[in-house]
Chain A
Amino acid sequence: DAGITQSPRYKITETGRQVTLMCHQTWSHSYMFWYRQDLGHGLRLIYYSAAADITDKGEVPDGYVVSRSKTENFPLTLESATRSQTSVYFCASSQVVEKLFFGSGTQLSVL
C-alpha cells in the first residue's frame, strides 16, 4: 500500500539551477495537485491536473513547469530556482476532487 510518495524528502540547491520534484501515486487517481506551503501559512496551488496530458495553472504557477505523461506521475520542475521558491512542496492526488490524499512533502532550500 504505497499510496502517494514524493522524492526527494529534502533538497538543497543554488539559485539558477533546475530542480525536479517527483510525485508518484499507486491508486490511479485522476486528479493530481502541487502546492507550496510557506512557514506559518496555508497551502497555495501551483499546478493541477485532471488526467494524463491535462494540466492547468493554479494560484502561483510562475517559475514552475509540470508534465503528466502517465496517470501515476506528476513531476514539478523549477526551471531556474530562486530564493523565493524556498518552501515545502506537497503533492496530492484524488479520485474525487473533494478528497485529497497528500504526500509527506519535499522541503526545498534555494541558497
Chain B
Amino acid sequence: TQLLEQSPQFLSIQEGENLTVYCNSSSVFSSLQWYRQEPGEGPVLLVTVVTGGEVKKLKRLTFQFGDARKDSSLHITAAQPGDTGLYLCAGASSGTYKYIFGTGTRLKVLA
C-alpha cells in the first residue's frame, strides 16, 4: 500500500521562527505536490516538484524533492501568522493516476 507520511503532525511556533515539514514514502513518485488548506476550504496547490534533487522557492517557502523521488520537504523561513494552516503533500505513483495525500502537518504561527 502506498503511503505518504508527514512529520511533524502538529507544529506551533512563534512568528519569525523557521520550520521544516517532511513528507516520506517507500514508493517512488513521478512528482510530488504540496498543498495548503485553510479551515472550511479545499486544499490549494502551492508547488510541484518533478526532478529528483529539485529545489523550488516560493517567497519564504523552499521545497525540495529527494534524489530518489520518495520524499520531499517544505522549509518556511521567518514564519508569519498568515502561514497558519494544514500543509499536505500529495502525489501519484509512476504510471498511475491514483492520487493520494499525506497525513498532513497542522501549523500554527503565533504573533
Contact = CB atoms under 8 A, between A and B. Distances in A.
A103 to B, nearest CB: 6
A43 B43 CA distance: 10
A2 B27 CA distance: 36
Interface stretch (A63-71, A77-85, A91-99): A91-99
* SS class, residues of chain B in contact with chain A: strand
Contacts, number: 63
Interface size class of A (residues with CB under 8 A): 20 to 34
B7 interface: no
Interface residues of B, number: 26
Contact of A97 (B40, B42, B99): B99
A97 B103 contact: no
B97 A48 contact: yes
Nearest to A90: B42
B101 A35 contact: yes
B38 to A, nearest CB: 11
Interface of A: 31, 33, 35, 40-45, 48, 50, 56, 58-59, 90, 92, 97-100, 102-105
